Amino acid sequence: MVDYETVYLDLKKILSKDRFLHSIGVVERALEYARVYNVNEEIVMIVAICHDIAKELDRSELDFYLKKYNVVLSDDEVINSDLLHAKIGSLICKDKYGFSDDMVNAVRYHTTGRENMSLLEKVIYLADKTEKGRKYCTSYYVDIIKDDIDRGIVELNKWVIKNLVDFNRVISIDGIKCYNYYCSKVSRYEK
């Protein structure tokens, strides 16, 4: 498996300063959650630093990778190209760094979430949303996540979905399914 130092140095060259600082922030927050939920810290660091590897690709680069990896776009991805970086990034990470399926999925779903995520997927998804540089991130969300990761997904998704609606943005089907799945799961054990 690739080591953290290798991907750190690669990403430092590839990403803009601001995007790289965001990625470092995601590493830091992901490690907090990994320690609470006993997730392998080395893997968490590698995935967290790589999660936005394709975020700054221009349209021609995105098209190159879509063709290279024979990617079929969902209706959501056709409408909202901001979703493409996660799908393409996960394929780049698998190809370039030999990511396992779980690591690939953590990059793939870091933007939308999905139903029945692994702990690694949850940690990366939530760390991306709650890294210290996020304007909306408050200790409220971090505390909930550290107390109950599934409830944290629900609470954070409420904010994300409301924000998308308020700004007339498309809500991905994966995001809706993620919210419904975890809302149902949390509701079952809160009764």
End-to-end CA distance of the chain: 43
Does pLDDT of 181 surpass 90? yes
Domain spans in the chain, listed from the N-terminal domain onward: 4-135
Which residue pairs from 38-46 have beta carbons closer than 8 angstroms and sit at least 24 positions apart in sequence? Answer: 39/119, 39/120, 39/123, 40/120, 42/3, 42/4, 43/103, 43/120, 44/120, 44/123, 44/124, 45/4, 46/1, 46/2, 46/3, 46/4, 46/7, 46/97, 46/103
- Give me the CATH code for the 4-135 domain, please: 1.10.3210.10
Q: For 48-102, what is each residue's pLDDT tens digit? A: 999 999 999 999 999 999 999 999 999 989 888 889 999 999 999 999 999 999 9
Question: Is 0.85 topped by the overall pTM?
Answer: yes
Q: For 31-53, what is each residue's pLDDT tens digit? A: 999 999 999 999 999 999 999 99
Does pLDDT of 134 surpass 90? no
Query: Which CA distances in Å does 172 have to 21, 40, 83, 140, 187?
Result: 26, 29, 9, 25, 22
Mean pLDDT score, 2-31: 97
Ramachandran quadrant class, 17 (left: phi over 0; alpha: psi -120 to 50; beta: rest):
alpha
Does pLDDT of 137 surpass 90? no
Does pLDDT of 187 surpass 60? yes
Mean pLDDT score, 4-26: 97
Residue of 74, 187, 176, 163 lying closest to 115 (CA atoms):
176
What's the confidence (pLDDT) of residue 1?
81
* Beta-carbon contacts of residue 18 (< 8 Å; ≥ 6 apart): none
Does pLDDT of 138 surpass 90? no
Residue of 108, 120, 117 lying closest to 154 (CA atoms):
117
What's the confidence (pLDDT) of residue 190?
61
User: In 3-state terms, the chain is what percent helix, strand and coil (to 5)?
Assistant: 75, 0, 25
Q: Mean pLDDT, the chain, as a whole number? A: 95
CB atoms within 10 A of CB 31: 17
Give me the half-sphere count of Cα atoms (radius 13 Å) on the Cβ side of residue 189.
8
Does pLDDT of 189 surpass 70? no
Does pLDDT of 103 surpass 90? yes
